[in-house]
Amino acid sequence: MDAERLNARIRGSLTVLIDSADELRDLDQALGDGDLGITVSAGSAAVIAALEQLPPDATPVDIARASAKAFANANPSTMAALVAGALLAGSRVWADTTDVTIADAQAFAAAAAASIAQRGKTQVGDKTILDGLAAVADSLVDQNDADVALDAAIAAAANAVESTKDLQSRRGRASWLQERSIGIADPGATALQRFVESWKIAGQTTE
C-alpha cells in the first residue's frame, strides 16, 4: 500500500470508527471516567483533518507522525498520550518504507505495543488496549495475503476483547474497581477492535 492509499484508508477507517464513540463511552463509564468516546471521536476527527492537509509527496512516516501529533493535541487524556506515543514508535520502523507491506504493518503494531507496555507500565493480561494490540501484532506474523491477514487481525482483536471480560483491570482508573471490573470488556481493547474492523469497511468503500 503506497502512501496515498494509506492516507485515504486511514481517513476512511477513522470516519467509520467515530460511529463507535457512544459504545466506547458507555464501556468506559462502566470501568473508568467515560471519556474514551470523546477521545476517539475528537482524536479521529483531528487526524482526518491533519491528513487532508499533508502534501502529495508525504511518506508513510509523515502520515504516522502527523496522526500522532493530531491525536495527542486533540485530547488531554492518558489514552491519547499512549496512542500518540505508540504511533510515533511505529513510525520509527518505517524509516525507509514507501509501500507498506503486511510485514511492515506487523512491525508497526509490535513497536506500538512495546511502546504502550513501556509508557503505560503494563503487560498483556492487565486488561488494557495492549491485550488487543499484542494479539493483532502476533496475528500478522508470517502472513502473505492481505485479505487473510486482515481477517486474522480482526479475529485476534475480537478474541482479545472477549478474553478481557474474564480479567481484573490492573491499570488506570478501572483498577480501582478491583474484582468488580471482571465481566466487562476492556474499553481500550474494544476501541482497537473497532478500528481494525473499520479498516476492512473502509477498504470496501475506498478501494
Of 27-31, 41-45, 173-177, the one with minimum mean pLDDT is 173-177
The enclosing H or E element of 199 equals helix 187-206
**C-alpha cell recorded at residue 35:** 471519556
Q: What is the pTM of this model?
A: 0.90
The neighbour count for residue 92, using CB atoms within 10 Å, is: 14
Helix pair angle (187-206, 21-31), 10° resolution: 170
| Mean per-residue pLDDT, 87-91 | 96
**C-alpha cell recorded at residue 63:** 502520515
Q: Which residues contact 201 (CB under 8 A, 6 or more apart)?
A: 12, 13, 16
pLDDT in the model for residue 75? 85
pLDDT digits (tens, 9 = 90+) for 156-196: 999 999 999 876 665 555 554 455 557 778 888 999 999 99
pLDDT in the model for residue 172? 58
Name the CA dihedral angle for 194, 199, 203, 205, rounded to a multiple of 10 degrees: 40
Sign of the alpha-carbon dihedral angle for 169, 140, 8, 56: positive
Work out the pLDDT band at 116, boundaries 50, 70, 90. Answer: very high
157: Cα separation from own chain's centroid: 10
**C-alpha cell recorded at residue 159:** 478474541
pLDDT in the model for residue 176? 42
Answer yes or no: CATH 1.25.40.340 is held by domain 3-206: yes
Q: Where are the domains of the chain?
A: 3-206
d(CA 16, CA 176): 32
**C-alpha cell recorded at residue 176:** 480501582
